[in-house]
Amino acid sequence: MEKKKIINTIELEDGEYLEKKFSNCLEMARHAVDWTLFCHYKLRPNCVDGIYKILKLTNMQLAYTKEVGGVMYEFATPKESICLSIIINVEDKACLTEMKVKTGMIAITQSERIYNFITNKGVEIIDISCNKDDNFSLYNTLRPYANKFFYDKDKYLQTLILELLHTHTNGTVLDTTLINSIEKKITNAIFSSITDQEVNIPTFKSSEQIALKIREQLFHHMDTTISIENLTQLYNISDKSLQTAFKSIFGFTPVLFIRLMKLNLVYHELLKTDSPQVTVTRVAKKWGFKHMGRFSLYYKELFLEFPSETLQKQDPLSNELSSYCVQRQEEI
């Protein structure tokens, strides 16, 4: 895994419970116990409002997350672990790297890779992280299913984990005996859920595969010359097919997606700068915006403030989240 941890997250003792609301990217990243979140992109206003409910066990970690929606970021699961993500609800579209995320799925992820998550509206997810060394039997069983998915039939696992999180919220640290009992109950429930069904392998239409490639290209190399015409020629796809594929997977048109990416890159740069020579116009043009009036309206609509207000904040802490974001070093 190429990316190192760049934010110190909250630490919990075995048996400890955390409930935390968040209203910005840094709060979201810092309270993702044992998870590493990289490079947030706001895709809708107020998208980073949400809540965490986390119960730290000895060999497992249970986490409930609710996000308002319209966000993209990369993440890594806890070190040396396998994770089951139980999708309680997806309001519209969501994509996990190369997997369409749907309500009722159990997606399996592993710590050896970085995942990209994007959603255009609200999501509710439960994550069960299983430690490799201390829960080897379960880890070994789940490992072949990494990057595939099952279904949570009759909401069996969802109901169990939500009940456990609700039961142990009084602030009392659980003792070892109770922790072992909870872990055994969860392990048995996981085995029961997956042993009577076939694993599902994510599939995409050829146009959707192209949309995924373009998403990856845009995430790691944003260039001012990018246009839909260039993309359709490069990938030999019609404009209509590309539009349909993007809306099917991400819930955004390609034009809107590119604009949102560029707006976020301007935001990251304005927020972390401490140079008096940096101006809004210079940064906006660097990332490909030519019409300043239209740019300001788009910016205000997404970030609920004008770019000049962001520049005045000059918050170098934002660099913690944007260090690994797509960069374009040369100036215009």
**Cα–Cα dist 155/130, whole Å:** 20
Same fold, 17-194 and 206-322: no
pLDDT of residue 177: 97
Please report the pLDDT score of residue 332 as a whole number: 39
Residue 146: the pLDDT is 95
Q: Which pair of structure tokens corresponds to residue 30?
A: 């810092």
How much is the pLDDT for 180?
94
* CA distance readout (Å), 29 to 33, 321, 332: 9, 8, 33
- Cβ count within 10 A of residue 79: 15
Look at the alpha carbons of 226, 261, 88, 30 in this order and tell me if their dihedral is positive or negative: positive
> HEC profile for 37-89?
EEEEEECCCCCCCEEEEEEECCCEEEEEEEECCCEEEEEECCCCEEEEEEEEE
The pLDDT assigned to 318 comes to 56
Tokens of 311: 């520049």
pLDDT at 269: 87
Can you give the pLDDT at residue 186?
96
Nearest to 92 by CA among 68, 64, 62: 68
Options 1.10.10.60, 1.10.3720.10, 1.20.59.10, 1.20.140.10; CATH of 206-322: 1.10.10.60
pLDDT at 322: 57
- Architecture of the domain spanning 17-194: Sandwich (2.60)
Taking the chain (332 residues) in runs of 10, the rounded mean pLDDT of each run is 63 95 89 89 89 95 94 91 97 95 97 93 96 78 94 96 92 94 95 92 96 87 78 95 97 95 90 83 91 96 94 64 56 41
Domain residue limits, the chain: 17-194, 206-322
| Contact between residue 60 and residue 112 where contact means Cβ atoms under 8 Å apart | no
